Amino acid sequence: MIELAGGELLTERKGSVHWITFNRPQARNALTWGMYDALVNECERVNEDDSIRVVVITGNGGAFAAGTDISQFRAFKTAQDALDYEKQGNHMAETVESVRVPVIAAIAGACTGGGASIATCSDIRIASPSAKFGIPIARTLGNCLSQKNYARVVSAFGVPRAKELLLTARLMDAQELKAAGYVAEVVASEEALVPRAQELAEQIAAYAPLTLQVTKKAINRVRDQLFPIEDDKEFIETCYLSEDFREGIEAFLNKRKPVWRGR
C-alpha cells in the first residue's frame, strides 16, 4: 500500500484492480486540497499503466467522503478564489471521468458534497447499508455547484429528482439510491462492501479493454451533448461572495444553525 497526501490517500494494487482509498477517518474523509490533488495525480498515473484494468475508489473508517474540508474556505477572499475552486473541482471531476478504465465507487457512510461529485463521476457505484448521499449546500454552506456538476447530477437522477434532492438539501439512503438507479447494488453488510467491489472489478477486468474504454467515452459524449454547458461565473460569484456563504462557513465550523439573510 502506498501513502499519498501525507497518508490521507492510500493506493493499493490487487491484481489488475487499482484501489484508491480516502484515509482521513477522523473527519469522515473530508477532502483537503492535497487529497484532491493526489486523486488527480493518481488518476493520471493510472492512464499510463496498461496493466491496470479497473479502479475502485472508496474511503476508510465507515465513510466515503464527507465533502470538502470546510475550514479551507475561510481563506477565500475574492471572486477569483471561488472561480479557481470550482475550476479545480471541474478538473478533478473530468480527470476521474476520463480515467481510461472503468471506475467503481464503493460507498459506505457519508458521500456528500465533493465526495458525492467523485462518486457521480465514477462509472459504477455500489453501496453498503450505511450509505448516505447528498449535496446539502442549501442548508450548510450557502454556496453552489459549477454548471458542469449540476449537469452531472441531472444526468444521474433526472431533472425532477435532482431539483428535489438539491432544493430540500436532504440525504438519500442506500435503498433509495438503489431504487433511483444511482447505485447498481446494495451489499448485505458493511463488511461485504470491499470484497464485493473487488469481485465486481475482477469481473469487469476480464472484458475487452478497448470496448470498455470506447463505451465510457461514447456515453460521456452523449451526456455532454444532452447537457451543453454555458458560462457559470455569475452563479459562482453570487454565492461565494455573499454574506450567507461566510455565515455558512462559520456556522458549520462552530456547530450551530446558520442564519440566512439572502445577501
Q: Which CATH number do you get for residue 71? A: 3.90.226.10
Domain limits at 179?
A: 2-192+203-209
Tell me whether residue 238 is in a domain. no
Tell me whether residue 171 is in a domain. yes
Question: Tens of pLDDT along the chain (263 residues)?
Answer: 898 889 999 999 999 999 999 999 999 999 999 999 999 999 999 999 999 999 999 999 999 999 999 999 998 889 899 999 999 999 999 999 999 999 999 999 999 999 999 999 999 999 999 999 999 999 999 999 999 999 999 999 999 999 999 999 999 999 999 999 999 999 999 999 999 999 999 999 999 999 999 999 999 999 999 888 888 899 999 999 999 999 999 999 999 999 999 99
Tell me whether residue 235 is in a domain. no
Tell me whether residue 244 is in a domain. no
Instruction: Give the ranges where the chain is alpha helix by DSSP (H).
Output: 33-46, 79-97, 114-121, 147-157, 159-168, 174-179, 193-205, 209-226, 233-240, 243-253
* Nearest alpha carbon to residue 145 among 175, 129, 121: 121
Q: How far apart are CA 74 and CA 249, in angstroms?
A: 7
Query: Helices 233-240 and 243-253: crossing angle, nearest 10°?
Result: 60
Distances (CA, A) of 6 to 22, 31, 227, 235: 11, 13, 38, 34
Find out whether 36 and 88 touch, Cβ atoms under 8 Å: yes
- Angle (CA) 121-150-132 rounded to 5° is 60
Nine cell digits for residue 9? 490517500
* Nearest alpha carbon to residue 232 among 111, 79, 117: 79
Q: Residue 77's pLDDT is what? A: 86
The cell 447499508 sits on which residue? 129
Tell me whether residue 157 is in a domain. yes
Tell me whether residue 50 is in a domain. yes
Tell me whether residue 21 is in a domain. yes
Number of domains in the chain: 1
DSSP 123: S
Q: How far apart are CA 114 and CA 89, in angstroms?
A: 8
The number of angstroms, rounded, from the C-alpha of 198 to the middle of its chain's C-alpha atoms is 20
DSSP 31: B
